[in-house]
Structure 1
C-alpha cells in the first residue's frame, strides 16, 4: 500500500511538472533549429496580469488598432458598438446586469498597464468613424485614427487629449484607388518623422499605399502592388496555386517604415509582405503560409527595436500566431501563439506593437476583444 501511494505521488508530481512545462511552451517563442543563434532571436512570455482592470465598470470591444508612442505608452482604439447586450448589460435601460459599460474608444496605458487617459467618439466639428480601425501616435503629439465601415473613407487627426485637429478624406463614398482626395476604408497609418509624411495602408476599399504631408495634409504620391498603378476591378478569390496577384488584395492591412527607409506593406489575403522604397519603387516580397485561405496570413508587422532592426514580427490572425522574421531575407526564425482564449493564445490577433524594451503588445478582434503583453525573455536587443 505504501508503495502504491509513493507511485501515485510521483505520478501526480510528474503530471504537475509536465503541465507547467506545457504552459511555458505555449507562451514562449519557439526558435526554429538551425536558423539563428537562439540567444539573439526574440522570445517572449505572456504577462497575464496586463493591463490592470479598467475603472468605471468599463469593458473593451473588438480592438481595432494598437500602437506604442515615443514615451513607451500603449494606445489602443476599440469598437464600442461591437459589444453584445450581455457584455454591456449595465448600460441598457433598464440595466440587464451589474456589468458593464463600454470604455471610450481611445485609451492610453503605460507599460505597467495603468490607464492614463481615454476619449473618443462623436463630437462637434467632425464625424466619427462607423467602425474603428487603426491608430498611430506621432512625436509631434498627434493621434491619427481611421475606420473600415462603409463610407469610413477618412483619417482623423486629434491631439493627445482628443481635441479634433483635421482630417484627410471624408466620411462619404469612396472615389477609387487613384483618387487623391478621398480614402477607401484605410486600415493603418505610419509616420515618417524626418520627412513629416503620413503613409496610409488604404485599405479595405482601395488597393494602395498613399502618402500625405503630415502637417498640410497635401497629397504626395501613391502606388499599388509591385509599384504598379492600383486597379479596382473585382479580383478572383485567392488561390495558392494561381499566379501571384499583380495587385494588392483587400485589405492592404498595414504599413511600416524602417530606419533604412524601406517601407513594409501587409498584403493580408495574398499572404505576403511587399517591400518598397519611399518613392514606391518595389524592392522585394516575402510569402508566408501560402496555403492559408480565409482572412490571410499577414495581418500586421512590428519592426524589432535593436539598432539594426534585425527582425520583423508579423501577426497572423488566421493561423493565430506571431512570426519572428529576419528582415534581411524574410526567413522565419521563430514564432509564438496558437488559436485559443487562454493567456498567451489568440483568437484573431489583429494588430501588434513593440516598445523600445522589446515587449510586444497584441490586439484581438471578433470574440477576442482583448489586449495582451508579452515580455522579452531573450537577449535580442544588442
Structure 2
C-alpha cells in the first residue's frame, strides 16, 4: 500500500520542517473502517514492527494500524475512564495512562492487562479534585490525574503526575515506587502541569512543564540540571533514535485555562519543534495560523518517532476547542510526517 502525500491548492506536495528535518505530510492516514470513530487522538506510539497504536477517546481506545495506515485491530473497550498517554517499551510492552481513573496500566500488545499502578478512581490528597492544576495546594503521592510515562534505559518507569499533582514518580519495572520529586510553582524542580516526559541514553529526565512553558532537565535521581524556554506550553517530549528531542507544543490558541491569556499578542499556536541534546533548535513547523491545514496544528498533544524517522503527532482537537466550534469537526486529530529521505510518489 502506498501512503498518499498531501497536496496544496496548486497540486504541489506539502512539505514541512527544514535542514535535515524535512517531512512530507501524509494524507488519508490512517484509513479508518466505517465503524471506527477515533473522536480525538490523545497519544500515539509504535512497536518494534512500526505498527502504530493510536490511543483515542472513541469506543475503541487502542486502535492499531500498519505503517501504511491499514487498520489491524483494536482493544481496550470499556477499560479506560479517559485516554491520555501511551508508551511502548523496547520489549513491546504497552503502557496506557488514564488520567480520570488515576491509574497507569501495562498491557501486552494484544491487550492483556499485566499490571496496574495506582488505584482505580482514587486520587491522592493534593487539594485538587479536578484537572485544574491551579487548585493544587501541595505535592502528593501517586496519582492525581497522571499524564504520561517514559521508560529509562535501565527499565525504570517515570510518570508525570500531572493535572492534579506536581510530581515526577520513578517506579521499578515491577511497579515499586522508588522516588518522587517536585512541587507546585515555577522555580527549579517545581511544576505547573508536568505533562510529558522522556529519558535520554544517559538517563537524564526531560519534563514538559506545560503551563510554565519550559522543558526541565533532571538527573535520574531528580536533581535539577537545566531548562529550555524556547517552547510554548509543551505537551510531550520524545527522544528519537537519532538523539534529537521532538516536542509537541500546544501553543496559546487552544486549550487555554479560564482566566489565562497569551503572554504576547499573536502568540504562537500549536507547533512541532526539534532540538538537539544541547537545546539548540533544529527544525520547527506549524504555528496554528491555519490549524486544520495539512502540516499545521490546532492542539498538539503527543509525538512519537518510528524507526524510519517518520513523525506522528496527535491532537486533542475536540476538547481543546473543537467542541466549542473553534475549528471544524473534521479538523485532523492525527498526522503522519514522512521523513524526506523516503521516496514518495508525486
Range class of TM-score, shorter chain: 0.7 to 0.9
Instruction: Note the C-alpha offset of 1:160.
Output: 1.4
2:186 matched to 1:201?
no
The within-5 A match list for 1:242-321 is 244-246=186-188, 248-289=190-231, 296-306=232-242, 309=243, 311-318=244-251, 319-321=269-271
2:275 matched to 1:325?
yes
TM-score for both structures, normalised by structure 2: 0.78
Distance change in 2, residues 1:17/1:161 (3 Å): closer
2:169 matched to 1:218?
no
Partner of 2:149: 189
- Which secondary structure state, in structure 2, belongs to the residue aligned with residue 269 of structure 1? helix
Partner of 2:35: 57
- Correspondent of 1:72 among 50, 53, 56: 50
C-alpha distance in structure 2 between counterparts of 1:255 and 1:196, whole Å:
15
CA contact (8 A) 1:78 1:132 kept: yes
Instruction: Note the C-alpha offset of 1:223.
Output: 1.3
C-alpha distance in structure 1 between counterparts of 2:80 and 2:190, whole Å:
24
Deviations 1:104-151 (A, max 9, x none): 1011222111222211133xxxxx4322100112233422112223xx
CA contact (8 A) 1:158 1:165 kept: yes
Instruction: Note the C-alpha offset of 1:333.
Output: 2.7
C-alpha distance in structure 2 between counterparts of 1:251 and 1:369, whole Å:
25
Instruction: Note the C-alpha offset of 1:279.
Output: 1.3
Partner of 1:44: 23
C-alpha distance in structure 2 between counterparts of 1:208 and 1:273, whole Å:
14
Partner of 1:131: 82
- Which secondary structure state, in structure 2, belongs to the residue aligned with residue 275 of structure 1? strand
CA contact (8 A) 1:207 1:247 kept: no
Kindly tell me the number of residue pairs found equivalent between the two proteins. 293
- Unmatched tracts of structure 2, length 5 or more: 1-6, 127-137, 252-268, 319-330
The within-5 A match list for 1:222-233 is 222-224=180-182, 230-231=183-184
Distance change in 2, residues 1:173/1:58 (3 Å): same
Flag the structure with more relative contact order, 1 or 2, with Cα contacts below 8 A and sequence separation at least 6: 1
Deviations 1:158-196 (A, max 9, x none): 22111222211112132347544x31111110112x422
**Aligned-pair Cα RMSD in Å:** 2.4
The within-5 A match list for 1:115-194 is 115-122=71-78, 128-149=79-100, 152-170=101-119, 171-176=121-126, 179-180=140-141, 182-192=142-152, 194=153
C-alpha distance in structure 1 between counterparts of 2:181 and 2:237, whole Å:
19
C-alpha distance in structure 1 between counterparts of 2:201 and 2:70, whole Å:
30
Instruction: Note the C-alpha offset of 1:246.
Output: 4.1
CA contact (8 A) 1:245 1:270 kept: no
C-alpha distance in structure 1 between counterparts of 2:235 and 2:145, whole Å:
16
CA contact (8 A) 1:62 1:366 kept: yes
CA contact (8 A) 2:44 2:302 kept: yes
CA contact (8 A) 2:160 2:168 kept: yes
CA contact (8 A) 1:148 1:187 kept: yes
C-alpha distance in structure 2 between counterparts of 1:51 and 1:17, whole Å:
19
Deviations 1:289-334 (A, max 9, x none): 5xxxxxx52111122322xx1x212111222111121221x12232
C-alpha distance in structure 1 between counterparts of 2:57 and 2:9, whole Å:
39
TM-score for both structures, normalised by structure 1: 0.71
C-alpha distance in structure 2 between counterparts of 1:204 and 1:129, whole Å:
17
Instruction: Note the C-alpha offset of 1:284.
Output: 0.8
Distance change in 2, residues 1:378/1:271 (3 Å): farther
Q: Which has the larger radius of gyration?
A: 1
